[in-house]
């Protein structure tokens, strides 16, 4: 007479937390085993990774720089997933935001105090503009936003390559694939870490609070959970869904602005560095909570940093993708298993 | 009488001995012992959550019992899964048919059957289907597509499919829920034929008159335990109800009112003028329906499920815009499809499928409780949403609905169907100052909760609300209604005063015959 296994309709958060910690440990163990099998010393590499990430000031600064865009692209995707909208185009909106901010920074003569706010505003608006077409198509015509947002990523990416190598190319240093250095940059707050990191943290927290406390947040939550119930309650879903997507686009655009004005300082091809796609991972890790975006982005930043360390140890850069994929799979399994309890008789 | 058909010494087809099944925090079945005999129709009775479904899931191999044993034809058996139970001759007809709508009857019968030839020729399987139909005396059209069939015809296909797999025991879960009275009679004929041929039948049902009509014996479950097994000739419906709920509660056959029911000159809360509705495919679902809802009366809408009830409820609550005709709300023409405007005008709606259309299952009880009133203080304002106020609102609503909440923030899908229904009814009762449309409000409720639900509808009526009760349960309609309208194939077959309403007339109207047809018959 074995104890029956039963699926819970509502999983307690503690079970979930434990399951996820186990998933991370299982992923670590798998990576370690694979490294050992390929003739490396996992413990040695582990120590190296720890030292060059959380174990040193330089490593911590690096983590914060990685976290900054991930927080915002994560928030961009999370904001949509909450309402059952999948913004796969944070990458493209990131490029759009970075491009618009660079255009202001490079070509519009503004007084210093105004420069950064205007660049930020341009970034947000450009990100929102980049998602506007998919948003309208999704909200009123039910066109899948997954496809439209994804395809616009390639347009944005190629556009930036074109600008950075063509009309906006750097004629001062004749660098091949980037614009000139921006004249006004986001000031530093701690070593290489700039105020953009703080802004990203604040934006994430504010987003969570606003959605929990506003009528907009409530109505969009209903729309996401059950569109039929929203209609029944007299909620007009289309304008809300459109707004949600525009906000998502704006968040990713802001990420692009902060990256170009705070970290990279020039617009260059590939500046988005997959942050838009990794934002999906961050949003999925965070599940229902905006504040959880912070540890999720930190974990993702750690993995990115680990990839760099592994590269210096002559291990393929694709290892990052493999680790990320493995972690996502482990967490998906853990979330599901956490719902099952064995009942004692 | 049927019990004498077989010698007393013969073992029962299936003997359950001390079956127990436990879920977290719930004892679904405990020490249940029942004999299911050949040549017998055995009714399984019990309230929602009494453990009937769990027990049948054990019998059909879906669940493994945690204790006790099953003895098939004198030998102990264990079913590793549903295929094992089917191989042993135990077949189940579920409440929701498991047929492929786009396939023909013959194709559905051939589906997943190891006697189906590898090369499927339409002629061959149709011939086989017709042979089956003849053998078991269940009339079907072998070449008709499932989605063109009525619920009763689909059920016959489902039964035929189970029988064709060699079932010796047929289990039916609420088989009459979707049938018209005529179809019920033909189902019962088919079951009696199967019984008389030596088959064992188990029917799960709530409807006592059907138990009395068709069953030979019945077993009553309460809180997972067997209360008793009786020959049908030894019991009365009142006794069975007493066993089901553990106390002799009768649902009142009427809800007396302090003042007489409003007459034709009473103020109209809502008027439907020749309202027609078409679905996306252009099929007319509601055909020129004209109705006046009088303040302070209960209007019962009788009819078999799927005859335009969702469309009628939709038109009355603003979910569906009329294709033609118009709706007057408090004297003024109502906006087309604007549920928010209807709600603001005091129209409450308990929809048929509350989980799908009136609740957001993954959100908390609080979010769901305020769905109708989040726009007003204290929960909401122009821009704000006060989560704390929503929690307090939910707690107060739960008290009013007599639902015990573990936490107002826990997802509402964690509540039982009955509790969800109580919360929806309480929520809608709050906003329904003019009209309350309740579609199948008793679904998923046990008798105690049904009694409370009916009291609530009667109280709304006494408070001057025009109550519309859509139900397939004639007893419920007759108990509560002041007037009764019959809806068949989207048309209003007639509206009669309660005093003039006769069960047989309503039954005939429900099956699509004119009221005077019964005089000729």
CB-CB neighbors (< 8 A) of B318 in chain A: 234
Q: Chain centroid to CA B165: how far? A: 27
Whether the Cβ atoms of residue B41 and residue B197 lie closer than 8 Å to each other:
no
- DSSP-derived 3-state class of residue A9: coil
In a domain, B73, yes or no: yes
Tell me: do B272 and B223 sit in the same domain. Answer: no
Indicate yes or no: CB of A218 within 8 angstroms of CB of B380. Answer: yes
Tell me: do B241 and B277 sit in the same domain. Answer: no
Q: Chain centroid to CA A126: how far? A: 17
Tell me: do B231 and B306 sit in the same domain. Answer: no
Mean pLDDT along residues B283-304: 89
Is B22 within 8 Å of chain A by CB?
yes
Can you spell out the DSSP letters for B364-383? Answer: BHHHHHTTTTTTSTTTB-SS
| Number of CB atoms found within 10 A of residue B39's CB | 20
Tell me: do B239 and B308 sit in the same domain. Answer: no
**Whole-number Å distance between alpha carbons of B345 and B348:** 9
Nearest-by-CA chain B residue for A224: B360
Identify the pLDDT of residue B300: 94
Q: Where are the alpha helices (DSSP H) in B406-502?
A: 417-431, 447-462, 474-480
Place of tokens 């019998």: B59
In a domain, B250, yes or no: no
- For chains A and B, what is the number of CB pairs under 8 angstroms? 93
**Whole-number Å distance between alpha carbons of B366 and B284:** 39
Instruction: Check pLDDT > 70 for residue A293.
Output: yes
Alpha-carbon distances of B115 from B92, B106, B129, rounded to whole Å: 19, 13, 12
Q: Residues with Cβ < 8 Å from B424, sequence gap 6 or more?
A: B350, B354, B358, B359
Is B371 within 8 Å of chain A by CB?
yes
Residues 50-109 of B with CB under 8 A from A: 64, 66-67
Length of chain A: 345
Confidence at B518, pLDDT banded by 50, 70, 90: very low
Q: Residues with Cβ < 8 Å from A2, sequence gap 6 or more?
A: none
B284-294 sheet: strands from edge to edge: B284-294, B268-278, B324-329, B332-333
What percent of chain B is modeled with pLDDT above 90? 33
Tell me: do B309 and B374 sit in the same domain. Answer: no
In a domain, B261, yes or no: no
Identify the pLDDT of residue A326: 92
Instruction: Check pLDDT > 60 for residue B25.
Output: no
Identify the pLDDT of residue A102: 96
CA distance B470 to chain A (A): 18
Range of the domain at B483: 268-358+420-520
CB-CB neighbors (< 8 A) of A234 in chain B: 318, 338-344
Domain final residue pick, B245, B260, B284: B245
Mean pLDDT along residues A297-304: 93
Tell me: do B186 and B296 sit in the same domain. Answer: no
CB-CB neighbors (< 8 A) of A345 in chain B: 22, 66
What pLDDT, in 10s, does the model give residues B483-496?
Answer: 999 988 888 988 99
| Domain CATH code at residue B102 | 3.40.50.300
Identify the pLDDT of residue A63: 94
What pLDDT, in 10s, does the model give residues A3-16?
Answer: 556 777 677 888 88
Identify the pLDDT of residue A130: 97
B259 by Cβ neighbours in 10 Å (0-12 / 13-18 / 19+) ranks as exposed
- B235-253 burial, b at 16+ Cβ within 10 Å, e below that, comes to beeeebbbbbbeeeeeeee
In a domain, B262, yes or no: no
CB-CB neighbors (< 8 A) of A228 in chain B: 356-357
Tell me: do B397 and B501 sit in the same domain. Answer: no
**For chain B, how many structural domains are there in total?**
3
Identify the pLDDT of residue B54: 85
Tell me: do B387 and B430 sit in the same domain. Answer: no
**Whole-number Å distance between alpha carbons of B130 and B134:** 6
Q: Where are the alpha helices (DSSP H) in B111-223?
A: 122-136, 151-164, 181-196, 208-214
Token pair belonging to A108: 């519009």
Confidence at B511, pLDDT banded by 50, 70, 90: low
CB-CB neighbors (< 8 A) of A8 in chain B: 24
Tell me: do B212 and B299 sit in the same domain. Answer: no
**Whole-number Å distance between alpha carbons of B503 and B474:** 8
Looking at per-residue pLDDT, the higher value among B309 and B395 belongs to B395
What pLDDT, in 10s, does the model give residues B126-175?
Answer: 888 898 888 887 888 888 888 888 777 888 898 998 888 888 999 998 88
Indicate yes or no: CB of B384 within 8 angstroms of CB of A4. Answer: no
Tell me: do B224 and B288 sit in the same domain. Answer: no
Tell me: do B425 and B403 sit in the same domain. Answer: no
CB-CB neighbors (< 8 A) of B64 in chain A: 4
Identify the pLDDT of residue B519: 37
Q: Suggest the residue from A222, A223, A233 to mutate for an interface test with chain B (most B CBs closer than 10 A).
A: A233
Looking at per-residue pLDDT, the higher value among B256 and B519 belongs to B256
Looking at per-residue pLDDT, the higher value among A29 and B49 belongs to A29
* A216, A225, A234 ranked by CB distance to B361: nearest: A225
In a domain, B62, yes or no: yes
Name the nearest CA neighbour of A233 among B376, B387, B319. B319
DSSP code at position B29: E
In a domain, B235, yes or no: yes
Instruction: Check pLDDT > 50 for residue B517.
Output: no
**Whole-number Å distance between alpha carbons of A153 and A131:** 10
Identify the pLDDT of residue A219: 94
Nearest-by-CA chain A residue for B410: A10
Whether the Cβ atoms of residue A79 and residue A135 lie closer than 8 Å to each other:
no
Confidence at A143, pLDDT banded by 50, 70, 90: very high
Tell me: do B167 and B295 sit in the same domain. Answer: no
Whether the Cβ atoms of residue B109 and residue B132 lie closer than 8 Å to each other:
yes
What pLDDT, in 10s, does the model give residues A168-187?
Answer: 988 877 766 789 899 899 99
Identify the pLDDT of residue B9: 61
Identify the pLDDT of residue B26: 63
**Residues of chain A that touch chain B, judged by Cβ-Cβ distance less than 8 Å:** 1, 4, 6, 8-10, 212-218, 221-222, 225-226, 228-235, 341, 343, 345
Most confident of A112-116, B139-143, B475-479: A112-116
Residues 391-430 of B with CB under 8 A from A: 410-411, 413-414
CB-CB neighbors (< 8 A) of B385 in chain A: 212-215, 217-218
Indicate yes or no: CB of A215 within 8 angstroms of CB of B374. Answer: yes
* Lowest mean pLDDT, pick from A195-199, B166-170, B257-261, B514-518: B514-518
In a domain, B223, yes or no: yes
Indicate yes or no: CB of A232 within 8 angstroms of CB of B358. Answer: yes
Instruction: Check pLDDT > 90 for residue B262.
Output: no
Identify the pLDDT of residue B169: 93
Instruction: Check pLDDT > 50 for residue B520.
Output: no
In a domain, B477, yes or no: yes
């Amino acid at each position: 007479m074995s104890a029956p296994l039963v699926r819970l309709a509502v999983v307690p958060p503690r079970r979930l937390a434990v399951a996820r910690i186990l998933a991370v440990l299982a992923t670590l163990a798998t990576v370690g085993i694979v490294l050992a099998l390929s003739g490396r010393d996992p413990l040695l590499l582990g120590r190296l990774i720890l030292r060059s990430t959380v174990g040193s000031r330089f490593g911590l600064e690096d983590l914060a720089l990685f976290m900054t865009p991930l927080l915002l692209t994560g928030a961009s995707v999370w904001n949509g997933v909450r309402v059952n909208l999948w913004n796969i185009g944070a990458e493209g909106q990131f490029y759009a935001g970075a491009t618009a901010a660079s255009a202001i920074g490079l070509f519009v003569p503004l007084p210093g105090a105004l420069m950064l706010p205007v660049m930020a505003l341009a970034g947000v608006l450009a990100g929102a503009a980049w998602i506007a077409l998919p948003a309208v198509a999704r909200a009123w015509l039910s066109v899948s936003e997954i496809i439209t947002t994804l395809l616009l990523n390639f347009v944005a990416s190629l556009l930036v390559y074109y600008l950075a190598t063509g009309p906006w190319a750097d004629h001062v240093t004749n660098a091949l694939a980037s614009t000139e250095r921006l004249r006004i940059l986001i000031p530093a707050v701690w070593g290489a870490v700039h105020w953009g990191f703080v802004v990203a943290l604040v934006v994430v927290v504010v987003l969570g609070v606003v959605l929990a406390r506003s009528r907009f947040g409530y109505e969009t939550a209903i729309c996401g959970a059950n569109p039929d119930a929203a209609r029944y309650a007299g909620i007009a879903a289309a304008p809300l869904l459109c707004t949600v997507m525009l906000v998502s686009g704006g968040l990713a655009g802001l990420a692009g602005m902060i990256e170009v004005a705070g970290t990279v300082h020039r617009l260059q091809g590939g500046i988005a560095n997959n942050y838009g796609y990794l934002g999906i991972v961050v949003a999925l890790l965070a599940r229902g909570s905006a504040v959880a975006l912070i540890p999720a982005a930190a974990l993702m930043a750690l993995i990115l940093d680990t990839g760099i360390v592994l590269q210096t140890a002559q291990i393929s850069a694709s290892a990052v993708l493999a680790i990320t994929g493995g972690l996502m799979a482990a967490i998906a399994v853990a979330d599901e298993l956490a719902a099952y309890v064995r009942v004692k008789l | 009488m049927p019990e004498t058909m077989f010698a007393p010494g013969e073992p029962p087809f299936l003997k359950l001995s001390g079956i127990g099944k436990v879920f977290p925090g719930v004892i679904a079945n405990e020490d249940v012992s029942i004999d299911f005999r050949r040549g017998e129709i055995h009714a399984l009775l019990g309230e929602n959550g009494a453990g009937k479904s769990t027990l049948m899931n054990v019998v059909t191999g879906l669940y493994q019992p945690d204790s006790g044993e099953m003895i098939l034809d004198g030998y102990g058996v264990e079913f590793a899964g549903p295929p094992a139970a089917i191989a042993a001759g135990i077949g189940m007809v579920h409440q929701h048919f498991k047929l492929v709508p786009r396939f023909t009857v013959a194709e559905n019968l051939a589906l997943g059957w190891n006697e189906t030839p590898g090369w499927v020729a339409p002629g061959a399987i149709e011939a086989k289907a017709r042979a089956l139909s003849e053998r078991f005396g269940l009339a079907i059209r072998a070449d008709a597509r499932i989605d063109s069939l009525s619920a009763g015809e689909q059920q016959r296909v489902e039964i035929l499919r189970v029988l064709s797999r060699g079932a010796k025991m047929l289990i039916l879960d609420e088989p009459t829920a979707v049938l018209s009275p005529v179809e019920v009679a033909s189902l019962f004929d088919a079951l009696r034929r199967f019984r008389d041929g030596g088959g064992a039948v188990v029917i799960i049902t709530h409807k006592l008159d059907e138990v009395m009509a068709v069953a030979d014996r019945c077993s009553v479950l309460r809180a997972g335990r067997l209360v008793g097994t009786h020959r049908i000739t030894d019991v009365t419906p009142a006794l069975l109800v007493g066993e089901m709920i553990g106390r002799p509660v009768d649902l009142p056959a009427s809800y007396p009112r302090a003042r007489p029911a409003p007459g034709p000159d009473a103020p109209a809360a809502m008027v439907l003028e020749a309202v027609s509705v078409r679905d996306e495919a252009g099929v007319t679902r509601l055909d020129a329906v004209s109705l006046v809802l009088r303040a302070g009366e209960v209007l019962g809408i009788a009819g078999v499920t799927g005859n335009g009830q969702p469309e009628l409820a939709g038109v009355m609550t603003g979910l569906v815009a009329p294709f033609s005709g118009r709706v007057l709300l408090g004297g003024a023409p109502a906006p087309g499809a604007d549920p928010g405007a209807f709600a603001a005008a005091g129209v409450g709606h308990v929809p048929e499928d509350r989980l799908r259309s009136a609740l957001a299952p993954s959100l908390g009880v609080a979010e769901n409780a305020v769905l109708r009133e989040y726009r007003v203080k204290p929960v909401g304002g122009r821009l704000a949403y006060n989560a704390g106020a929503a929690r307090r609102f939910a707690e107060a609503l739960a008290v009013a609905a007599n639902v015990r909440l573990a936490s107002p923030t826990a997802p509402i899908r964690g509540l039982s169907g009955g509790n969800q229904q109580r919360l929806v009814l309480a929520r809608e009762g709050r906003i329904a100052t003019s009209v309350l449309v309740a579609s199948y409000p008793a679904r998923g409720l046990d008798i105690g909760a049904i009694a409370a639900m009916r009291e609530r509808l009667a109280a709304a009526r006494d408070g001057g609300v025009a109550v519309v009760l859509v139900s397939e349960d004639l007893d419920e309609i007759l108990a509560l209604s002041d007037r009764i309208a019959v809806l068949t194939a989207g048309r209003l077959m007639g509206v009669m005063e309660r005093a003039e309403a006769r069960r047989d007339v309503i039954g005939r109207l429900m099956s699509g015959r004119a009221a005077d047809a019964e005089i000729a018959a």
